[in-house]
Amino acid sequence: MNQNIKHAIIKGETSLGIELGSTRIKAVLIDRNFSIIASSSYEWENQLIDGYWTYSLDQMIYGLQEAYRQLKLDVENKYEITLQRIGSMGCSAMMQGYIALDKAGDLLVPFRTWRNATTKTAASELTEKFQFKVPQRWSIAHLYQAILDNEEHVNHIDYITTLSGYIHWRLTGKRALGVCDASGMFPIDESTKQFNEGMLAIFDDLTAGKNYGWNIKEILPKVNAAGEHAGYLHQAGALLLDPSGNLKAGIPLCPPEGDAGTGMVATNSVQKRTGNVSAGTSIFAMLVLEKNLSSVYPEIDIINTPEGSPVAMVLANNCSSDINAWVSLFSEFSQAMGLNADTSQIFNILFNKAMEADADGGGLLSYGYYSAENITGFAKGRPLFVRSAESRFNLANFMRMHLFSAFAALRIGIDILTEKEHLNIDCILAHGGMFKIPKVGQKMCAASLNVPVSVMPTASEGGAWGMAVLACFLINKEQHETLASYLANKIFKNVQGKKLYADNEDLNGFTLYMERYKKGLVIQQAAVDHFVENRKH
């Protein structure tokens, strides 16, 4: 047992990061050297209910409590002490979406996640009015669509926020949000690091005469940059997180952030000219800009770093879900054969098989569209696998095809930045579940995006670790120290990512696959138009 760590836990010289991702709620406790003391996770899934992707509030709170309970148990097992004091903490979650609360703090409609593509009219109109890209996923698009649809709940709104902002409010009573997560609600002004005042005024003009009893600024959270205090854990929040009553109130919280922001932190990608890609249920690439883009592009979102710098973000709604479904099928087959292979072993075998494949995936084609795909313009998802009689249908090609497909929509957006905006991308830092197996996801990503890809040793720690680092920054930063310098000089100074370049054969193979992918979009549209789900749940 490390006695130094034990004393750090007793004295509260720790930081806790909690992240509510799309498939897991994860908690990570770190020391002042940013090393992980304990961690835990709780798996959950979204549900399609009444036409909206959502998570139940009860499961949200239960999962939060279970993740903390397991973390606390991990501490007890390793260090023989009960976790009571924590130096600082913060919570992050999947960005965007829509949580609307009334004056009593009750949910007015079920949580509408980023995965919903139900706000096309609102997003289009706001983009035109603002002259700034407003994606369908953004909170303001959900609100404005509800207004256009005359939804009754709009009359009773007292507060709208994101998932991380909601959890933060439950823990502290504060209506706060980190600037990165806030930039997925409403456009941010880089100079003030606050919501854009001119666009707030435009929105109020659009809703003038509705007599809602609120204006847009009143119902949005307060925006905080990294390093600013965003409240303290109150007694009710401590009991919410740890119903046993062991956890002490009074812990300072940093601004709640989105998974994009914690991904930037985990990969040291908050400085201008840096970039990263996160691949999990969805996939997104983020490039910190030196100057504003020359045009508004439907495929490119503009968000901000946790310090407020503008970021070009390409987000595809679908990435690993279809791969996970096929791995589950292979796992079921393994069990039927009496082999009972562990899931991680199956992932390892299947991913490495892709390294043996034909460069283009053997003429196979797939679309892992479990939900709508904004990059290619699909309002509904239909996972699809297509081959011809001449295709080389074997396991290696099957897996390479799925890995290429996971990156294909993202490549369309990246091409806009490189070809139309002439952005030079020297290297992208990668993180997320797709990169857990050494080299495979990294190599497929490099071939798919035509850019060298580095995976940092910290990448597998994910957003919860990045959130814990932001919490640590809150209480340990020096006066006037920026987050960028804190990361560069105190965390990543001696940390080197393993850079991998795609070879010409893989690059040419992906080019062939991408041609097939683009031409086959009409097949995907036919599946959306004509395949009807008749199974009763």
d(CA 209, CA 188): 26
d(CA 475, CA 470): 9
Per-residue pLDDT at 483 exceeds 90: yes
Per-residue pLDDT at 1 exceeds 70: no
Can you give the pLDDT at residue 534?
67
What's the fold here for domain 269-455+502-532?
Nucleotidyltransferase; domain 5 (3.30.420)
Q: In terms of Cα–Cα distance, which of 408, 498, 395, 416 is closest to 444? A: 408
Strand partners, 232: 252
More confident residue, 183 or 341: 183
Q: What DSSP designation does 503 have?
A: P
The angle formed by the CA atoms of residues 238, 460 and 360, to the nearest 5 degrees, is 140
Can you give the pLDDT at residue 468?
97
Q: In terms of Cα–Cα distance, which of 188, 323, 182 is closest to 255? A: 182
Taking only the tens place, the pLDDT of each residue in 417-427 is 999 998 888 88
Q: What pLDDT band is residue 535 in, cutting at 50, 70 and 90?
A: low
Across 22-31, 126-135, 372-381, 458-467, least confident range: 458-467
More confident residue, 327 or 117: 327
**How many Cβ atoms sit within 10 Å of the Cβ of residue 312?**
23
Can you give the pLDDT at residue 463?
86
d(CA 56, CA 50): 13
Taking only the tens place, the pLDDT of each residue in 440-465 is 999 999 999 999 998 876 655 678 99
> Helix, strand, coil shares of the chain as percentages rounded to 5?
40, 20, 40
Helix H, strand E, coil C: the string for 242-279 is CCCCCCCCCCEECCCEEHHHHHHHHCCCCCCCCEEEEE
Q: DSSP strand E in 21-84: where?
A: 24-30, 36-43, 47-49, 52-54
| Residue 283, both tokens | 């996939």
Q: Which residues, including other chains, have CB under 8 Å from residue 287's CB and lie 6 or more apart?
A: 274, 275, 311, 312, 417, 423, 425
Q: In terms of Cα–Cα distance, which of 291, 283, 280 is closest to 313? A: 283
Can you give the pLDDT at residue 455?
85
Q: What is the mean pLDDT of residues 256-262?
A: 94
**How many Cβ atoms sit within 10 Å of the Cβ of residue 495?**
11
**How many Cβ atoms sit within 10 Å of the Cβ of residue 391?**
17
Can you give the pLDDT at residue 117?
82
Q: What DSSP designation does 494 have?
A: T
Taking only the tens place, the pLDDT of each residue in 141-175 is 999 999 999 999 999 999 999 999 999 999 999 99
Q: pLDDT averaged over the chain?
A: 93
Q: What is the mean pLDDT of residues 419-438?
A: 86
d(CA 470, CA 255): 8
d(CA 445, CA 435): 9
Cβ-contact 61, 42 below 8 angstroms: no
d(CA 455, CA 496): 9
Q: In terms of Cα–Cα distance, which of 309, 131, 157 is closest to 220? A: 157
Taking only the tens place, the pLDDT of each residue in 63-119 is 999 999 999 999 999 999 999 999 999 999 999 999 999 999 999 999 999 888 899
| Residue 422, both tokens | 């002439």
Can you give the pLDDT at residue 432?
79
Percent pLDDT > 90 in the chain is 80
Q: What is the mean pLDDT of residues 402-414?
A: 96
Task: Kindly list the distances between the CA atom of residue 155 and the CA atoms of 158, 164, 198, 210, 226, in Å, as whole numbers in the listed order.
Answer: 9, 24, 24, 9, 33
Taking only the tens place, the pLDDT of each residue in 273-313 is 888 898 888 898 999 998 889 999 988 999 999 999 999 99
The residue written with tokens 């890995």 in the block is 403
CB-based burial, 414-440: b 16+ in 10 Å, e otherwise = bebbeeebebebebbbbbbbbbbbeeb
Spell out the alpha helix ranges (H) of 290-339.
Answer: 321-336
Can you give the pLDDT at residue 349?
96
Q: What is the mean pLDDT of residues 502-520?
A: 97
Q: What pLDDT band is residue 536 in, cutting at 50, 70 and 90?
A: low
CA quadruple 484, 466, 166, 278: dihedral sign: positive
What's this model's pTM, rounded to 2 decimal places? 0.83
Can you give the pLDDT at residue 291?
85
d(CA 99, CA 102): 10
Spell out the alpha helix ranges (H) of 381-429.
Answer: 395-419
Cβ-contact 315, 321 below 8 angstroms: no
Can you give the pLDDT at residue 305?
95
Q: What is the mean pLDDT of residues 356-365?
A: 98
The residue written with tokens 């009754």 in the block is 152
Q: What is the mean pLDDT of residues 387-398?
A: 97
In degrees and rounded to multiples of 5, residue 54 shows phi and psi of -150, 170
d(CA 16, CA 71): 10
d(CA 287, CA 401): 26
Per-residue pLDDT at 61 exceeds 60: yes
- State in Å, rounded, how far the first CA of the chain is from the last one: 50
Can you give the pLDDT at residue 459?
58
In degrees and rounded to multiples of 5, residue 386 shows phi and psi of -130, 140
